Structure 1
Amino acid sequence: MLILSDTDYNKAINVIERNFKTVPTFVYSIINNYINGIIYVDSKNVETVLIGTESGIYFIAGEEENHKFNDFLFDLYCKRKSKGLRFTLFSASENWDCVINALFDDNLKQGGRYSFTYDPQKQFQDESPLVSEYSISRINEELITSSSEYNEDYYKDYWGSVSNFIEKGFGYCILHKGKVVSECTSIFSSHQFSEVDIETHADYRGKGLASINAKAFINHCLENNIMPRWDCEILNNASIKLAEKLGFGKPIKYSIFIKNS
Protein backbone atom coordinates (compact mmCIF):
# COMPACT_ATOMS: atom_id res chain seq x y z
CA MET A 1 0.00 0.00 0.00
CA LEU A 2 1.04 3.60 -0.56
CA ILE A 3 0.64 6.42 1.94
CA LEU A 4 -0.07 9.82 0.44
CA SER A 5 1.90 12.80 1.63
CA ASP A 6 -0.25 15.76 2.66
CA THR A 7 0.77 17.60 -0.50
CA ASP A 8 -0.86 14.82 -2.54
CA TYR A 9 -4.13 14.56 -0.61
CA ASN A 10 -6.00 16.09 -3.53
CA LYS A 11 -5.39 12.85 -5.45
CA ALA A 12 -7.95 11.16 -3.19
CA ILE A 13 -10.72 13.70 -3.77
CA ASN A 14 -11.91 12.33 -7.12
CA VAL A 15 -12.22 8.85 -5.63
CA ILE A 16 -14.03 9.79 -2.43
CA GLU A 17 -16.56 12.04 -4.16
CA ARG A 18 -17.31 9.73 -7.07
CA ASN A 19 -20.88 8.47 -6.95
CA PHE A 20 -21.04 8.31 -3.17
CA LYS A 21 -24.11 9.45 -1.29
CA THR A 22 -22.21 11.11 1.52
CA VAL A 23 -18.63 11.61 2.69
CA PRO A 24 -17.90 12.04 6.42
CA THR A 25 -16.71 15.45 7.58
CA PHE A 26 -13.53 14.01 9.09
CA VAL A 27 -12.37 13.08 5.58
CA TYR A 28 -12.34 16.73 4.59
CA SER A 29 -10.77 17.62 7.94
CA ILE A 30 -7.79 15.44 7.04
CA ILE A 31 -7.57 16.54 3.41
CA ASN A 32 -7.70 20.22 4.47
CA ASN A 33 -5.07 19.58 7.19
CA TYR A 34 -7.38 20.61 10.03
CA ILE A 35 -6.40 17.42 11.84
CA ASN A 36 -3.63 14.89 11.41
CA GLY A 37 -4.56 11.71 9.61
CA ILE A 38 -3.40 9.17 7.10
CA ILE A 39 -4.51 8.29 3.58
CA TYR A 40 -3.73 4.85 2.19
CA VAL A 41 -4.11 4.22 -1.55
CA ASP A 42 -3.70 1.13 -3.68
CA SER A 43 -1.47 2.72 -6.32
CA LYS A 44 -0.46 5.99 -7.92
CA ASN A 45 -3.59 5.70 -10.05
CA VAL A 46 -5.69 5.69 -6.85
CA GLU A 47 -8.64 3.38 -7.34
CA THR A 48 -9.23 2.57 -3.65
CA VAL A 49 -8.58 4.80 -0.64
CA LEU A 50 -8.70 4.41 3.12
CA ILE A 51 -8.66 7.66 5.08
CA GLY A 52 -8.18 7.55 8.83
CA THR A 53 -7.86 9.80 11.86
CA GLU A 54 -5.17 9.32 14.49
CA SER A 55 -7.86 8.06 16.88
CA GLY A 56 -8.87 5.17 14.59
CA ILE A 57 -11.87 6.39 12.58
CA TYR A 58 -11.69 5.34 8.92
CA PHE A 59 -13.55 5.87 5.64
CA ILE A 60 -13.08 3.50 2.73
CA ALA A 61 -14.09 4.28 -0.84
CA GLY A 62 -13.34 3.38 -4.42
CA GLU A 63 -13.02 0.03 -6.13
CA GLU A 64 -14.56 -2.66 -3.90
CA GLU A 65 -13.04 -5.72 -5.56
CA ASN A 66 -9.48 -4.73 -4.77
CA HIS A 67 -8.54 -7.90 -2.90
CA LYS A 68 -5.00 -6.91 -1.97
CA PHE A 69 -6.24 -3.66 -0.49
CA ASN A 70 -9.06 -5.43 1.34
CA ASP A 71 -6.55 -7.85 2.86
CA PHE A 72 -4.53 -4.85 4.00
CA LEU A 73 -7.66 -3.37 5.60
CA PHE A 74 -8.33 -6.53 7.57
CA ASP A 75 -4.70 -6.73 8.66
CA LEU A 76 -4.87 -3.12 9.88
CA TYR A 77 -7.94 -3.99 11.92
CA CYS A 78 -6.17 -7.00 13.46
CA LYS A 79 -3.15 -4.92 14.43
CA ARG A 80 -5.29 -2.24 16.09
CA LYS A 81 -7.42 -4.83 17.86
CA SER A 82 -4.33 -6.56 19.27
CA LYS A 83 -3.25 -3.24 20.79
CA GLY A 84 -6.69 -2.45 22.16
CA LEU A 85 -7.06 0.54 19.81
CA ARG A 86 -10.21 1.92 18.28
CA PHE A 87 -11.32 0.78 14.84
CA THR A 88 -14.44 2.43 13.42
CA LEU A 89 -15.06 2.09 9.70
CA PHE A 90 -17.37 4.32 7.65
CA SER A 91 -18.65 2.75 4.44
CA ALA A 92 -18.99 4.67 1.18
CA SER A 93 -21.83 2.63 -0.32
CA GLU A 94 -24.09 -0.39 -0.04
CA ASN A 95 -21.57 -2.30 -2.19
CA TRP A 96 -18.92 -1.56 0.40
CA ASP A 97 -21.32 -2.71 3.13
CA CYS A 98 -21.45 -6.12 1.48
CA VAL A 99 -17.67 -6.31 1.06
CA ILE A 100 -17.01 -5.28 4.67
CA ASN A 101 -19.53 -7.77 6.07
CA ALA A 102 -17.98 -10.59 4.03
CA LEU A 103 -14.43 -9.57 4.92
CA PHE A 104 -14.89 -9.08 8.66
CA ASP A 105 -17.71 -11.54 9.33
CA ASP A 106 -18.58 -11.21 13.05
CA ASN A 107 -15.55 -9.09 13.92
CA LEU A 108 -17.36 -5.84 13.14
CA LYS A 109 -20.94 -4.84 13.89
CA GLN A 110 -22.84 -2.81 11.28
CA GLY A 111 -24.78 0.25 12.40
CA GLY A 112 -26.86 2.83 10.58
CA ARG A 113 -26.55 6.61 10.67
CA TYR A 114 -28.22 9.57 9.01
CA SER A 115 -26.43 12.50 7.43
CA PHE A 116 -28.66 15.60 7.17
CA THR A 117 -28.47 18.53 4.78
CA TYR A 118 -28.97 22.03 6.15
CA ASP A 119 -31.46 24.31 4.42
CA PRO A 120 -30.48 27.94 5.05
CA GLN A 121 -33.94 29.04 3.87
CA LYS A 122 -35.52 27.52 6.96
CA GLN A 123 -35.22 30.22 9.58
CA PHE A 124 -35.28 29.01 13.15
CA GLN A 125 -36.73 31.30 15.78
CA ASP A 126 -35.64 30.86 19.38
CA GLU A 127 -38.65 29.72 21.36
CA SER A 128 -37.51 31.60 24.41
CA PRO A 129 -34.51 33.79 25.22
CA LEU A 130 -32.05 32.84 27.92
CA VAL A 131 -33.16 34.06 31.32
CA SER A 132 -30.82 36.09 33.49
CA GLU A 133 -29.25 33.11 35.28
CA TYR A 134 -28.06 31.71 31.95
CA SER A 135 -25.44 32.94 29.50
CA ILE A 136 -23.97 31.70 26.22
CA SER A 137 -20.29 31.81 25.38
CA ARG A 138 -17.94 30.60 22.69
CA ILE A 139 -15.98 27.59 23.93
CA ASN A 140 -12.46 28.41 25.10
CA GLU A 141 -9.72 26.57 26.97
CA GLU A 142 -11.04 27.62 30.38
CA LEU A 143 -14.53 26.33 29.62
CA ILE A 144 -13.13 23.06 28.28
CA THR A 145 -11.40 22.41 31.60
CA SER A 146 -14.73 22.77 33.40
CA SER A 147 -16.69 20.55 30.98
CA SER A 148 -17.55 16.98 31.90
CA GLU A 149 -18.64 15.95 28.38
CA TYR A 150 -16.43 17.79 25.89
CA ASN A 151 -13.29 17.97 27.96
CA GLU A 152 -9.59 17.89 27.13
CA ASP A 153 -9.68 14.14 26.38
CA TYR A 154 -12.50 14.68 23.89
CA TYR A 155 -10.60 17.31 21.93
CA LYS A 156 -7.43 15.27 22.07
CA ASP A 157 -9.27 12.31 20.52
CA TYR A 158 -10.89 14.25 17.69
CA TRP A 159 -8.66 17.28 17.19
CA GLY A 160 -5.27 16.06 18.41
CA SER A 161 -5.15 18.78 21.08
CA VAL A 162 -7.20 21.51 22.69
CA SER A 163 -4.96 24.14 21.10
CA ASN A 164 -5.66 22.79 17.60
CA PHE A 165 -9.41 22.94 18.25
CA ILE A 166 -9.14 26.51 19.54
CA GLU A 167 -7.20 27.48 16.40
CA LYS A 168 -9.32 25.69 13.77
CA GLY A 169 -12.60 24.69 15.38
CA PHE A 170 -15.35 26.39 17.35
CA GLY A 171 -18.31 25.73 19.56
CA TYR A 172 -20.71 27.34 22.00
CA CYS A 173 -21.84 26.51 25.49
CA ILE A 174 -24.59 27.68 27.80
CA LEU A 175 -23.74 28.31 31.43
CA HIS A 176 -26.06 28.37 34.41
CA LYS A 177 -24.59 30.32 37.30
CA GLY A 178 -21.15 29.69 35.83
CA LYS A 179 -21.66 25.94 35.29
CA VAL A 180 -21.47 24.47 31.77
CA VAL A 181 -24.87 22.85 31.19
CA SER A 182 -25.18 22.64 27.38
CA GLU A 183 -22.54 22.39 24.66
CA CYS A 184 -22.58 22.47 20.87
CA THR A 185 -19.16 21.97 19.33
CA SER A 186 -17.55 21.00 16.05
CA ILE A 187 -16.46 17.40 16.34
CA PHE A 188 -14.85 17.86 12.90
CA SER A 189 -14.39 20.88 10.64
CA SER A 190 -12.90 21.71 7.26
CA HIS A 191 -12.85 24.57 4.76
CA GLN A 192 -16.39 23.67 3.66
CA PHE A 193 -18.09 21.91 6.58
CA SER A 194 -18.43 21.77 10.34
CA GLU A 195 -20.16 18.82 11.99
CA VAL A 196 -22.28 19.31 15.10
CA ASP A 197 -21.73 17.44 18.34
CA ILE A 198 -24.22 18.51 20.99
CA GLU A 199 -25.00 17.56 24.58
CA THR A 200 -27.08 19.03 27.39
CA HIS A 201 -26.72 18.00 31.03
CA ALA A 202 -29.56 15.67 32.05
CA ASP A 203 -30.82 18.11 34.72
CA TYR A 204 -31.23 20.88 32.13
CA ARG A 205 -32.97 19.10 29.27
CA GLY A 206 -36.40 20.16 28.08
CA LYS A 207 -35.64 23.87 28.48
CA GLY A 208 -34.79 24.61 24.85
CA LEU A 209 -31.09 25.13 25.63
CA ALA A 210 -29.85 22.77 22.91
CA SER A 211 -31.84 24.68 20.27
CA ILE A 212 -30.43 28.04 21.35
CA ASN A 213 -26.92 26.66 21.50
CA ALA A 214 -27.16 24.94 18.13
CA LYS A 215 -28.53 28.11 16.53
CA ALA A 216 -25.44 30.03 17.71
CA PHE A 217 -23.31 27.30 16.13
CA ILE A 218 -25.26 27.45 12.86
CA ASN A 219 -25.09 31.24 12.73
CA HIS A 220 -21.31 31.10 13.14
CA CYS A 221 -21.13 28.62 10.25
CA LEU A 222 -23.23 30.76 7.94
CA GLU A 223 -21.37 33.95 8.81
CA ASN A 224 -18.11 32.22 7.85
CA ASN A 225 -19.35 30.47 4.67
CA ILE A 226 -19.24 27.04 6.31
CA MET A 227 -22.01 24.49 5.81
CA PRO A 228 -23.18 22.98 9.11
CA ARG A 229 -23.59 19.21 9.10
CA TRP A 230 -25.64 17.00 11.38
CA ASP A 231 -25.12 13.24 11.63
CA CYS A 232 -26.67 10.85 14.14
CA GLU A 233 -27.69 7.25 14.67
CA ILE A 234 -30.90 6.31 12.87
CA LEU A 235 -32.56 5.35 16.18
CA ASN A 236 -31.67 8.60 17.94
CA ASN A 237 -35.14 10.13 17.71
CA ALA A 238 -34.31 13.09 19.95
CA SER A 239 -31.38 14.10 17.73
CA ILE A 240 -33.44 13.63 14.56
CA LYS A 241 -36.26 15.77 15.94
CA LEU A 242 -33.87 18.55 16.96
CA ALA A 243 -32.09 18.43 13.59
CA GLU A 244 -35.37 18.85 11.72
CA LYS A 245 -36.43 21.69 14.01
CA LEU A 246 -33.19 23.54 13.26
CA GLY A 247 -33.58 23.27 9.49
CA PHE A 248 -31.76 20.02 8.68
CA GLY A 249 -33.52 17.63 6.32
CA LYS A 250 -33.18 15.11 3.48
CA PRO A 251 -31.43 12.50 5.63
CA ILE A 252 -29.15 10.08 3.81
CA LYS A 253 -28.60 6.72 5.46
CA TYR A 254 -25.12 5.25 5.56
CA SER A 255 -23.32 2.50 7.47
CA ILE A 256 -20.57 2.41 10.02
CA PHE A 257 -18.85 -0.66 11.41
CA ILE A 258 -17.45 -0.95 14.93
CA LYS A 259 -15.58 -3.66 16.77
CA ASN A 260 -17.78 -6.29 18.33
CA SER A 261 -17.31 -6.49 22.09
Structure 2
Amino acid sequence: MEILQSKPLLLRSCEAGFFGKNHIYKNGSIAEALFTYLSGEPDEELFNQLCAPKCGRHLVCLSQSWQNFIQKNFSDAENYVRYQMKSTDHFIFPDLRKLSSEFEIQKFGKKEFEAKPFSHGTNYKNAEDFAENGAGAVIWHDGKIVSSASSFITFKNEIELDFSTLEDYRRKGLVNHCISKMLRDCEDRALKVHWDAQTEVSRDIAFKFGFTLNQSYKVYIV
Protein backbone atom coordinates (compact mmCIF):
# COMPACT_ATOMS: atom_id res chain seq x y z
CA MET A 1 0.00 0.00 0.00
CA GLU A 2 1.53 3.32 -1.04
CA ILE A 3 -0.92 5.97 0.19
CA LEU A 4 -1.01 6.73 3.89
CA GLN A 5 -4.54 5.97 5.01
CA SER A 6 -4.58 7.44 8.52
CA LYS A 7 -3.20 10.72 9.81
CA PRO A 8 -0.01 10.31 11.86
CA LEU A 9 0.63 12.26 15.05
CA LEU A 10 2.95 14.68 13.25
CA LEU A 11 0.23 15.64 10.79
CA ARG A 12 -2.49 15.94 13.41
CA SER A 13 -0.30 18.17 15.54
CA CYS A 14 0.47 20.29 12.47
CA GLU A 15 -3.21 20.68 11.59
CA ALA A 16 -3.82 21.85 15.16
CA GLY A 17 -1.13 24.52 14.83
CA PHE A 18 1.17 22.85 17.35
CA PHE A 19 4.02 21.64 15.14
CA GLY A 20 5.23 22.64 11.69
CA LYS A 21 3.16 24.66 9.25
CA ASN A 22 -0.03 23.68 7.43
CA HIS A 23 -0.89 25.32 4.10
CA ILE A 24 -4.63 24.94 3.51
CA TYR A 25 -6.33 25.69 0.20
CA LYS A 26 -9.78 25.06 -1.22
CA ASN A 27 -9.45 21.36 -2.04
CA GLY A 28 -6.60 20.17 0.11
CA SER A 29 -3.52 21.00 2.10
CA ILE A 30 0.27 20.74 2.16
CA ALA A 31 1.56 20.25 5.70
CA GLU A 32 5.22 20.77 6.52
CA ALA A 33 5.81 18.69 9.64
CA LEU A 34 9.23 17.01 9.31
CA PHE A 35 7.73 15.20 6.32
CA THR A 36 5.61 17.05 3.76
CA TYR A 37 2.09 15.61 3.87
CA LEU A 38 -0.04 16.05 0.75
CA SER A 39 -3.82 15.83 1.22
CA GLY A 40 -6.82 16.31 -1.06
CA GLU A 41 -6.46 17.51 -4.65
CA PRO A 42 -3.09 18.76 -5.93
CA ASP A 43 -2.36 22.48 -6.10
CA GLU A 44 0.56 22.61 -8.51
CA GLU A 45 1.31 26.30 -8.00
CA LEU A 46 1.52 26.01 -4.21
CA PHE A 47 3.48 22.79 -4.48
CA ASN A 48 6.06 24.47 -6.71
CA GLN A 49 6.33 27.40 -4.31
CA LEU A 50 6.93 25.17 -1.31
CA CYS A 51 8.72 22.16 -2.68
CA ALA A 52 10.24 22.59 -6.11
CA PRO A 53 13.05 25.01 -5.17
CA LYS A 54 14.19 22.80 -2.28
CA CYS A 55 15.94 19.47 -2.52
CA GLY A 56 15.47 16.50 -0.27
CA ARG A 57 11.78 16.93 0.51
CA HIS A 58 10.26 13.71 1.82
CA LEU A 59 6.70 13.64 0.50
CA VAL A 60 3.87 11.54 1.90
CA CYS A 61 0.67 11.26 -0.16
CA LEU A 62 -2.67 10.92 1.59
CA SER A 63 -4.71 10.85 -1.62
CA GLN A 64 -4.53 9.02 -4.92
CA SER A 65 -4.66 12.37 -6.73
CA TRP A 66 -1.47 13.55 -5.08
CA GLN A 67 0.28 10.27 -5.73
CA ASN A 68 -0.65 10.44 -9.42
CA PHE A 69 0.68 14.00 -9.51
CA ILE A 70 4.02 13.03 -7.97
CA GLN A 71 4.45 9.96 -10.16
CA LYS A 72 3.61 11.93 -13.30
CA ASN A 73 5.75 15.00 -12.61
CA PHE A 74 8.62 13.32 -10.79
CA SER A 75 8.81 9.92 -12.40
CA ASP A 76 12.48 9.54 -11.45
CA ALA A 77 11.99 10.51 -7.80
CA GLU A 78 13.60 8.24 -5.26
CA ASN A 79 11.23 6.55 -2.85
CA TYR A 80 11.26 4.23 0.12
CA VAL A 81 8.75 2.42 2.32
CA ARG A 82 7.90 3.31 5.92
CA TYR A 83 5.86 1.26 8.36
CA GLN A 84 3.18 2.90 10.46
CA MET A 85 2.75 0.81 13.56
CA LYS A 86 -0.51 0.49 15.47
CA SER A 87 -0.40 1.94 18.98
CA THR A 88 -0.99 -0.45 21.84
CA ASP A 89 -2.14 -0.08 25.44
CA HIS A 90 -0.24 -3.17 26.48
CA PHE A 91 3.47 -3.19 25.73
CA ILE A 92 5.46 -6.40 25.71
CA PHE A 93 8.78 -6.18 27.51
CA PRO A 94 11.11 -8.83 26.09
CA ASP A 95 13.84 -10.43 28.17
CA LEU A 96 16.97 -8.45 27.47
CA ARG A 97 20.56 -9.47 27.96
CA LYS A 98 22.02 -7.74 31.00
CA LEU A 99 24.01 -4.65 30.15
CA SER A 100 27.74 -4.87 30.55
CA SER A 101 29.07 -2.87 33.51
CA GLU A 102 30.79 -0.48 31.10
CA PHE A 103 27.38 0.85 30.04
CA GLU A 104 25.10 2.99 32.20
CA ILE A 105 21.42 3.44 31.40
CA GLN A 106 19.71 6.60 32.58
CA LYS A 107 16.34 8.27 32.25
CA PHE A 108 16.42 11.20 29.83
CA GLY A 109 17.00 13.95 32.40
CA LYS A 110 18.34 17.49 32.38
CA LYS A 111 21.92 16.45 31.61
CA GLU A 112 20.75 14.31 28.71
CA PHE A 113 18.41 17.03 27.46
CA GLU A 114 21.25 19.55 27.37
CA ALA A 115 23.39 17.06 25.44
CA LYS A 116 20.67 16.68 22.76
CA PRO A 117 21.86 13.23 21.62
CA PHE A 118 20.93 12.56 17.99
CA SER A 119 18.94 15.86 18.19
CA HIS A 120 16.58 14.25 20.70
CA GLY A 121 14.74 16.81 22.80
CA THR A 122 14.99 19.51 20.17
CA ASN A 123 11.23 20.02 19.92
CA TYR A 124 10.79 20.82 23.62
CA LYS A 125 11.18 24.28 25.14
CA ASN A 126 13.53 23.23 27.92
CA ALA A 127 14.42 20.36 30.22
CA GLU A 128 11.44 21.09 32.44
CA ASP A 129 9.07 20.90 29.47
CA PHE A 130 10.59 17.58 28.45
CA ALA A 131 10.40 16.18 31.99
CA GLU A 132 6.72 17.08 32.21
CA ASN A 133 5.60 16.10 28.72
CA GLY A 134 8.28 13.95 27.10
CA ALA A 135 9.87 10.59 27.81
CA GLY A 136 13.16 8.92 27.04
CA ALA A 137 16.21 6.97 28.15
CA VAL A 138 19.87 6.87 27.14
CA ILE A 139 22.94 4.72 27.58
CA TRP A 140 26.23 6.34 28.53
CA HIS A 141 29.64 4.89 27.75
CA ASP A 142 32.99 6.46 28.45
CA GLY A 143 31.44 9.88 29.10
CA LYS A 144 29.23 10.04 26.00
CA ILE A 145 25.72 9.02 25.05
CA VAL A 146 25.93 6.10 22.64
CA SER A 147 22.24 5.11 22.38
CA SER A 148 19.01 6.98 22.98
CA ALA A 149 15.25 6.52 22.76
CA SER A 150 13.18 9.67 23.09
CA SER A 151 9.88 11.31 22.29
CA PHE A 152 10.20 13.44 19.16
CA ILE A 153 7.13 15.51 20.07
CA THR A 154 4.30 15.35 22.58
CA PHE A 155 0.78 16.31 21.54
CA LYS A 156 -2.29 15.83 23.74
CA ASN A 157 -0.67 13.17 25.89
CA GLU A 158 0.56 11.31 22.80
CA ILE A 159 4.19 10.99 21.81
CA GLU A 160 6.16 10.02 18.71
CA LEU A 161 9.01 7.64 19.51
CA ASP A 162 12.44 8.09 17.98
CA PHE A 163 15.65 6.20 18.66
CA SER A 164 19.23 6.00 17.48
CA THR A 165 22.59 4.44 18.32
CA LEU A 166 26.10 5.43 17.33
CA GLU A 167 27.27 3.24 14.47
CA ASP A 168 30.14 1.63 16.41
CA TYR A 169 27.70 0.55 19.15
CA ARG A 170 25.00 -1.01 17.01
CA ARG A 171 24.00 -4.69 17.07
CA LYS A 172 24.65 -4.86 20.81
CA GLY A 173 20.99 -4.57 21.85
CA LEU A 174 21.60 -1.22 23.55
CA VAL A 175 18.64 0.59 22.04
CA ASN A 176 16.28 -2.16 23.22
CA HIS A 177 17.21 -1.28 26.79
CA CYS A 178 16.54 2.42 26.10
CA ILE A 179 13.18 1.68 24.48
CA SER A 180 12.18 -0.66 27.30
CA LYS A 181 12.96 1.92 29.98
CA MET A 182 11.17 4.63 28.02
CA LEU A 183 8.04 2.55 27.40
CA ARG A 184 7.79 1.57 31.06
CA ASP A 185 7.77 5.26 31.93
CA CYS A 186 5.13 5.93 29.25
CA GLU A 187 3.01 3.09 30.59
CA ASP A 188 3.22 4.46 34.15
CA ARG A 189 2.21 7.94 32.93
CA ALA A 190 -0.49 6.76 30.48
CA LEU A 191 1.28 8.33 27.50
CA LYS A 192 0.13 6.97 24.14
CA VAL A 193 3.13 5.99 22.02
CA HIS A 194 3.27 6.24 18.22
CA TRP A 195 5.95 4.39 16.27
CA ASP A 196 6.53 5.12 12.59
CA ALA A 197 9.33 2.83 11.44
CA GLN A 198 11.71 4.00 8.73
CA THR A 199 13.21 0.55 8.14
CA GLU A 200 12.33 -3.11 8.48
CA VAL A 201 14.78 -3.27 11.38
CA SER A 202 12.84 -0.58 13.25
CA ARG A 203 9.56 -2.32 12.39
CA ASP A 204 10.85 -5.62 13.74
CA ILE A 205 12.00 -3.98 16.97
CA ALA A 206 8.51 -2.53 17.35
CA PHE A 207 7.06 -6.03 17.00
CA LYS A 208 9.17 -7.15 19.97
CA PHE A 209 7.48 -4.57 22.19
CA GLY A 210 3.94 -5.51 21.21
CA PHE A 211 3.25 -3.10 18.36
CA THR A 212 1.53 -4.42 15.25
CA LEU A 213 1.67 -3.12 11.70
CA ASN A 214 -1.06 -0.67 10.80
CA GLN A 215 0.15 -0.18 7.22
CA SER A 216 3.17 0.36 5.04
CA TYR A 217 3.33 3.44 2.84
CA LYS A 218 5.63 5.05 0.31
CA VAL A 219 7.67 8.23 0.78
CA TYR A 220 8.92 10.14 -2.26
CA ILE A 221 12.09 12.25 -2.20
CA VAL A 222 11.89 15.31 -4.42
The answer for the alignment partner of 1:91 in structure 2 is 61
Larger RCO (CA within 8 A; separation ≥ 6): 2
Q: Which runs of 5+ in 1 are unaligned?
A: 1-18
Q: Note the C-alpha offset of 1:182.
A: 1.1
One-letter code of the match for 2:144? K
Change (3 A) 1:160 1:176: closer
The answer for the alignment partner of 2:211 in structure 1 is 248
Distance (Å, rounded) in 1 between the aligned partners of 2:21 and 2:189: 27
Tell me if 1:61 matches 2:24: no
Tell me if 1:217 matches 2:195: no
8 Å CA contact 2:161–2:195 kept in 1: the answer is yes
**SS of the counterpart of 1:97?**
helix
The answer for the alignment partner of 1:52 in structure 2 is 32
Q: 1:29 aligns with which of 13, 21, 36?
A: 13
Distance (Å, rounded) in 2 between the aligned partners of 1:207 and 1:110: 29
Q: Which runs of 5+ in 2 are unaligned?
A: none
More deviation, 176-185/201-210: 201-210
Question: When the two structures are aligned, how many residues end up with a matched partner?
Answer: 219
Distance (Å, rounded) in 2 between the aligned partners of 1:89 and 1:22: 15
TM-score (norm 1): 0.69
The answer for the alignment partner of 2:96 in structure 1 is 127
Distance (Å, rounded) in 1 between the aligned partners of 2:64 and 2:5: 10
Distance (Å, rounded) in 1 between the aligned partners of 2:13 and 2:155: 5
TM-score (norm 2): 0.80
8 Å CA contact 1:22–1:115 kept in 2: the answer is no
Matches within 5 A, 1:36-185: 37-43=20-26, 47-53=27-33, 57-62=35-40, 64=41, 66=42, 69-79=43-53, 81=54, 87-106=57-76, 108-146=77-115, 149-151=117-119, 156=122, 159=123, 166=130, 168-185=133-150
Distance (Å, rounded) in 1 between the aligned partners of 2:52 and 2:167: 38
Q: Note the C-alpha offset of 1:26.
A: 1.4
**SS of the counterpart of 2:92?**
coil
One-letter code of the match for 1:204? Y
Distance (Å, rounded) in 1 between the aligned partners of 2:141 and 2:209: 23
Change (3 A) 1:257 1:179: same
Q: 1:203 aligns with which of 162, 168, 173?
A: 168
8 Å CA contact 1:116–1:251 kept in 2: the answer is yes
One-letter code of the match for 1:99? F
One-letter code of the match for 2:106? S
Q: Note the C-alpha offset of 1:57.
A: 2.9
Distance (Å, rounded) in 1 between the aligned partners of 2:133 and 2:147: 21
Distance (Å, rounded) in 2 between the aligned partners of 1:237 and 1:160: 28
Deviations 1:15-54 (CA, angstroms, capped at 9, x unpaired)? xxxx96222321133345543x2221113xxx4122113x
Deviations 1:68-127 (CA, angstroms, capped at 9, x unpaired)? x23311232124x2xx6x522221144432222224444x43322111113334522332
8 Å CA contact 2:4–2:61 kept in 1: the answer is no
- CA-atom RMSD, angstroms? 3.1
Distance (Å, rounded) in 1 between the aligned partners of 2:128 and 2:219: 26
The answer for the alignment partner of 2:194 in structure 1 is 229
The answer for the alignment partner of 2:156 in structure 1 is 191
Which has a greater percent of helix? 1
Q: Percent identity?
A: 23
